[in-house]
A and B are shown apart, each in its own frame.
Chain A
Amino acid sequence: MIEAREISKSFGEKTVMHSVSATFETGKTNLIIGKSGSGKTVLLKSLVGLYDVDRGAILYDGRDVTRMGRHARQQLRQEIGMIFQGSALFDYMTVLENVRFPLDMFTTLSAGERRKRAQQCLRRVNLEAQADNLYPAEISGGMQKRVAIARAIVQNPRYLFCDEPNSGLDPTTAGVIDSLISEITHESGITTIINTHDMNSVFTIGEHIAFISGGRKLWDGDKETILKSDCPDLQSFMESAVRLMSLGK
């Protein structure tokens, strides 16, 4: 379980996160929703410790990251996998090398074992073996997302963070990526946190949902209760999202 207690973050004069508290449960897909610019990425990056929060505490199963030294934090990061908004694959490495990279850096496995484990993860995300030796620039956006997932899970993380894993993809591929993440979460009992503004994801994989707007958490619940919420901002967010979806059809 990951717990954020009243965390705030500002860049210079501008406060982009106002005292956000939230819990994200183990073995579930926890969604953070909100419109563009609402502070989803900042919240996620604060949770993983890429940004230092100004106030508040972040607990990973009771361990407070905000009070950890650099070394302890690096240790904890072995248990974290993250998928970035733009995939963030290393562009001078092939697909296979990208996935193998965390193993190269942190394990004492033999070269053969590392390759095998990397290939296993790539097959898990349904990527064909032909893609193994291509560079990220040579594969499609959807494939890049899958490689990013494979790289995030290669070390069997306990916590998985996904920043808009299906943005920029067509609805079918987006659905595939969503269900892939959801399956992996349930298979290994990972604490997964996903940023999204896609209502499809909310209704298919949203087990626990937090809504943020303007850097504040305004609502949380699950996909059953979200339709009955009386939070006006959430209602208008959903309305516009649903209108966009029906326009798309």
Chain B
Amino acid sequence: MIVDPGIGMIGRYCRFMYLVMGRPEKWGVFGRRILQETYKLGVDSLGIVTLISFFVGAVVTIQLANNLDNPFIPTYTIGFAARETIVLEFSSTIVCLILAGKVGSNISSEIGTMRITEQIDALDIMGINSAAYLAAPKVVAMVVSVPLLVMYSMCVGIIGGWVSGFMTGMVPSDEFIRGLHFMFKPYYIFYSIFKSSLFAFIIASVSSFFGYYVHGGALDVGRASTKSVVVSCVMVLMVNLIVTQLLL
């Protein structure tokens, strides 16, 4: 009984994505919309990403330092472990979960409001493919800007760890930096960026989907926006598991 509407939903999602992939009416307008959306969804998220990355980087380092307080473990291990945590999981998955909350609810409530105020009908009646016009620039903007945000988050997180290490006197600066260089695998960065662009695609398309098919009133817009955040988070976590199994 739960499976049935689930399958119907997947079918509708696929049909929606087929519409979204449609050729834009005008490339110039499409390009401009991508820039606007990149600004709105990407650049406007810099603040929250900076804040969270810095503090989580700092806390991870302090906790590692507390737990690895053992004469047999060299201090630079803390820098190494902090780097691995931030690069492999925190900056890609956790940052994307946070973006699913911030950006996902923004996307679905914006599109949902356009649906209930008949703005989407107005687009359709002009002969515009409304799904593509509204969702495609958001998907592209997210897939482009989230990996950049994730790389930025890695840098800020590591800086946070480094600062907290020498500020608290737990990890000297040169030890931390030595740890950062220890057994460095560029592949991990690639892996992290790759999965974050998948997550970005999920967040943007799932939230657009829930917004696009709202019907009813303001209450339903709120409901759709909550649903889109929950579904994108679950999807991100599941895809994370699969990708990690396949790529690492």
Binary contact readout A83-121 vs B (1 if CB under 8 angstroms, 0 otherwise): 011101111000000000110111000000000000000
**In the complex, B126 has a CB within 8 A of chain A:** yes
Residues of chain B from 90 to 143 with CB closer than 8 A to chain A in the complex:
114, 117-119, 121-122, 124-129
Given contacts A86-B117, A88-B117, contact A105 B122 (CB under 8 A): no
CA A78 to CA B124, docked complex, whole Å: 11
Taking CB atoms, residues of chain B closer than 8 Å to A247 are none
Q: Are A77 and B125 in contact (CB under 8 A)?
A: yes
Contact partner of A102 (CB less than 8 A), chosen from B118, B124, B126, B129, is: B126
Taking CB atoms, residues of chain A closer than 8 Å to B29 are 104-105
A69–chain B nearest beta-carbon distance, Å: 13
CA A86 to CA B114, docked complex, whole Å: 12
Q: Are B25 and A48 in contact (CB under 8 A)?
A: no
A68–chain B nearest beta-carbon distance, Å: 12
**In the complex, A227 has a CB within 8 A of chain B:** no
Residue of A nearest to B22 (CB): A70
Q: Are B26 and A104 in contact (CB under 8 A)?
A: yes
Residues of chain A from 35 to 62 with CB closer than 8 A to chain B in the complex:
45, 48, 50
Q: How many residues of A contact B (CB 8 A)?
A: 24
CA A104 to CA B126, docked complex, whole Å: 12
**In the complex, A82 has a CB within 8 A of chain B:** yes
Residue of A nearest to B116 (CB): A86
Q: Are A50 and B121 in contact (CB under 8 A)?
A: yes
Q: Are A82 and B127 in contact (CB under 8 A)?
A: no
Q: Are A88 and B127 in contact (CB under 8 A)?
A: no
Q: Are A82 and B125 in contact (CB under 8 A)?
A: yes
Counting chain B CB atoms within 10 Å of each CB, which of A77, A88, A90, A104 scores highest?
A88
Taking CB atoms, residues of chain B closer than 8 Å to A82 are 121-122, 125
Given contacts A105-B26, A106-B25, contact A84 B126 (CB under 8 A): no
**In the complex, A80 has a CB within 8 A of chain B:** yes
Taking CB atoms, residues of chain A closer than 8 Å to B117 are 86, 88, 91
Given contacts A105-B25, A105-B29, contact A50 B125 (CB under 8 A): yes
Contact partner of A45 (CB less than 8 A), chosen from B114, B121, B128, is: B121
B99–chain A nearest beta-carbon distance, Å: 21
CA A106 to CA B125, docked complex, whole Å: 13
CA A80 to CA B125, docked complex, whole Å: 7
CA A242 to CA B124, docked complex, whole Å: 37
**In the complex, A236 has a CB within 8 A of chain B:** no
Q: Are B118 and A88 in contact (CB under 8 A)?
A: yes
Q: Are B126 and A88 in contact (CB under 8 A)?
A: no
**In the complex, A229 has a CB within 8 A of chain B:** no
Residue of B nearest to A105 (CB): B25
**In the complex, A74 has a CB within 8 A of chain B:** yes
Contact partner of B121 (CB less than 8 A), chosen from A74, A88, A91, is: A88
CA A249 to CA B106, docked complex, whole Å: 46
CA A206 to CA B26, docked complex, whole Å: 39
Taking CB atoms, residues of chain B closer than 8 Å to A50 are 121, 124-125
Task: Give me 14 other A-B pairs in contact (C-beta within 8 A), A101-B126, A104-B29, A106-B126 excluded.
Answer: A73-B127, A74-B127, A74-B128, A74-B129, A77-B124, A88-B119, A89-B119, A90-B122, A102-B126, A105-B25, A105-B126, A105-B128, A106-B25, A106-B26
| CB pairs A–B below 8 angstroms (19 shown) | A45-B121, A50-B124, A77-B125, A77-B126, A78-B127, A82-B122, A85-B118, A88-B119, A88-B121, A88-B122, A89-B119, A90-B114, A90-B119, A91-B117, A91-B119, A101-B126, A104-B26, A105-B26, A105-B126
Which residues in A have some Cβ–Cβ distance to B below 8 Å?
A: 45, 48, 50, 73-78, 80, 82, 84-86, 88-91, 101-102, 104-106, 161
